[in-house]
Structure 1
Amino acid sequence: IMYNGKQTIHEISDNNLQKPNIYNQYLPYYESIKQQSLESFDEICENLSRLIQLQELQPGFPLWSSKLQQFISLYGFSFTKINHIKLIEFYLSILSIKNLNYVNTKICFDMLTQLTRKTRLITRNDLIIDWRILYVWGKLVLFNHDESYSLVSMPKQIVNSFLFCVRSCRPYFSVTATQEILDEFRPCLCPFDTVCGDVMSYWDMFLPVHLPPELHHQGFKLWLSEFLDIWETVCNNPEWEQVS
Structure 2
Amino acid sequence: MKGVQSDTLGFVPQKDIVYNKLLPYANRLDDESNEILSKIKGNLGRAVQLREIWPGVLFWTRKLSTYMRLYGRKFSKEDHVLFIKLLYELVTIPGLEISMMQGLSRLLINLLKKRELLSREDLELPWRPLYELYDRILFSKTEHLGLNWFPNSVESVLKTLVKNCRPGVYPALRHGDELHKRQPWPCPSFLLWFDELISLWVSVQNFPSWEVHLVNLFARLANDNIGYIDWDPYIPKIFTRILRSLNLPVGTSQMIVPRYVTIAYDINHVVVWVSSLLGGPSKQAQAQLSGLFNSITSFFHPSNHGRWLMKLMKLLQRLPASVVRRLHRERYRKPSWLTPIPDSHKLTEEDITDFVLSMMQPVLLAMFSKTGSLDAAQALQNLALMRPELVIPPVLEKTYPALETLTEPHQLTATLSCMIGVARSLVSGGSRFPEGPTHMLPLLMRALPGVDPNDFSKCMITFQFIATFVTLVPLVDCSSALHERTDLTEVEREMCSASAEFEDFVLQFMDRIKLILLSLLLLTLFGADQ
Please state which band the TM-score falls in when normalised by the shorter chain.
0.7 to 0.9
Q: Is the contact between residue 98 and residue 150 of structure 2 (CA under 8 Å) also seen in structure 1? A: yes
CA drift of 1:35 comes to 1.5
Choose which of 42, 51, 56 in structure 2 pairs with 1:55: 51
Per-residue deviation at 1:180? 7.9
Q: How many residues align?
A: 208
Q: Distance in 1 between matches of 2:67 and 2:140?
A: 34
Flag the 1:50–1:87 CA change in 2: closer, same or farther, 3 A.
same
The alignment status of 1:232 with 2:202, answered yes or no, reads yes
SS of the counterpart of 2:73? strand
- Which letter does structure 1 place at the counterpart of 2:121? N
Kindly state the Cα deviation for residue 220 of structure 1 after the two structures are TM-superposed. Answer: 4.6
**d(CA) in 1 for partners of 2:191 and 2:45?**
42
Mapped pair 1:21 → 2:21: no
Distance 2:178 2:203 in 1: 22
Aligned to 1:207: 186
Displacement of 1:10 in angstroms is 5.4
1:28-69 Cα offsets, whole Å, 9 max, x none, are 211222221111111111221112111120122222222211
Q: Name the CA distance, whole Å, in 2 between partners of 1:110 and 1:169.
A: 12
Q: Compared with structure 1, are the counterparts of its residues 178 and 106 closer, same or farther at alpha carbon in structure 2 (3 Å cutoff)? A: farther
Residue 163 (1) aligns with residue 133 (2) = no
Instruction: Report Cα offsets for 1:151-181 as digits up to 9, x if no partner.
Output: 2232441111111111111111122179888
**2:92, 2:160 → 1: CA distance?**
18
Aligned partner of residue 79 in structure 1, secondary structure: coil
Answer yes or no: is 1:36 the counterpart of 2:32: yes
In 1, the alpha carbon distance for the partners of 2:203 and 2:72 equals 49
Residues 134-160 of structure 1 show CA distances to partners (whole Å, capped at 9, x for unaligned) of: 101110221124333332232441111
Query: Given the superposition, is the C-alpha separation of residues 227 and 109 from structure 1 closer, same or farther in structure 2, using an over 3 Å criterion?
Result: same
Aligned to 1:12: 9
Moved more, 173-182 or 34-43: 173-182
AA matched with 1:173: Y
Q: Is the 8 A contact 2:170 2:186 kept in 1?
A: no
Indicate the larger mover: 137-146 or 110-119. Answer: 137-146
How far, CA to CA, are the matches of 1:69 and 1:177 in structure 2? 36
Is residue 112–residue 169 contact of structure 1 (8 Å, CA) maintained in 2? no
Contact 2:112–2:164 (CA under 8 A) maintained in structure 1? yes
1-structure distance, mates of 2:66, 2:155: 23
The aligned residue for residue 105 of structure 1 is 101
Hey, what's the Cα distance between the residues in 2 that align with 1:220 and 1:145? 28
Look up the match of 2:138: 142
Residue 176 of structure 1 aligns to a residue whose secondary structure is coil
Please give the alpha-carbon distance, in whole angstroms, between the structure 2 residues aligned to 1:180 and 1:164: 29
Larger Rg: 2
- Compared CA separation, residues 165 and 181, structure 1 to 2 (3 A): farther
- Pair 1:156–1:231, CA change in 2 (3 A): closer
- Does structure 2 retain, via aligned residues, the 8 Å contact 1:178–1:207? no
1:241 aligns with 2:208: no
Mapped contact 2:112–2:165 kept (Cα < 8 A): yes
What TM-score, normalized to structure 1? 0.77
Determine helix, strand or coil for the equivalent of 1:17. coil
More helix per residue: 1 or 2? 2
Q: What TM-score comes out, normalization by structure 2 length? A: 0.37
C-alpha change, 1:219 and 1:93, in structure 2 (3 Å) is closer
Aligned to 1:65: 61
Letter in 2 for 1:228: I
Distance of aligned partners of 1:170 and 1:221 in 2 relative to their CA distance in 1, 3 Å threshold: closer
- Whether contact under 8 Å (1:109, 1:161) holds in the other structure is yes
CA contact (8 A) 1:131 1:177 kept: no
3-state secondary structure, aligned to 1:98:
coil
Aligned to 2:450: none
Q: Matched residues, percent identical?
A: 29
Q: Match of 1:128, SS?
A: coil
Q: Report the AA paired with residue 194 of structure 2.
A: L
Match of 1:6 in 2: none
Q: Quick one: structure 1 residues 25 and 53, their matched pair in 2 at CA, closer, same or farther if it must change by over 3 Å?
A: same
Q: Describe the shift of the 1:156–1:74 C-alpha distance in structure 2 as closer, same or farther (beyond 3 A).
A: farther
How far apart, in 1, do the equivalents of 2:177 and 2:153 lie? 29
- Judging changes above 3 Å, is the alpha-carbon distance between structure 1 residues 78 and 163 closer, same or farther for their aligned structure 2 residues? same
Calculate the aligned-residue CA RMSD, in Å.
2.4
2: CA distance, partners of 1:84 / 1:238: 42
Task: Supply the distance in 1 between the matched residues of 2:178 and 2:107 (Cα, whole angstroms).
Answer: 24
Identify the range of structure 1 (45-54 vs 153-162) with the bigger mean alpha-carbon deviation. 153-162
1: CA distance between counterparts of 2:97 and 2:127? Answer: 20
Q: Give the letter aligned to residue 48 of structure 2.
A: I
Q: CA deviation at 1:17?
A: 0.6
- Alpha-carbon distance in structure 2 between the residues aligned to 1:17 and 1:93: 24
User: What is the one-letter code of the residue matched to 2:93?
Assistant: I
Amino acid at match of 1:36: E
Pick aligned residue for 2:192 from 216, 222, 225: 222
Letter in 1 for 2:180: D
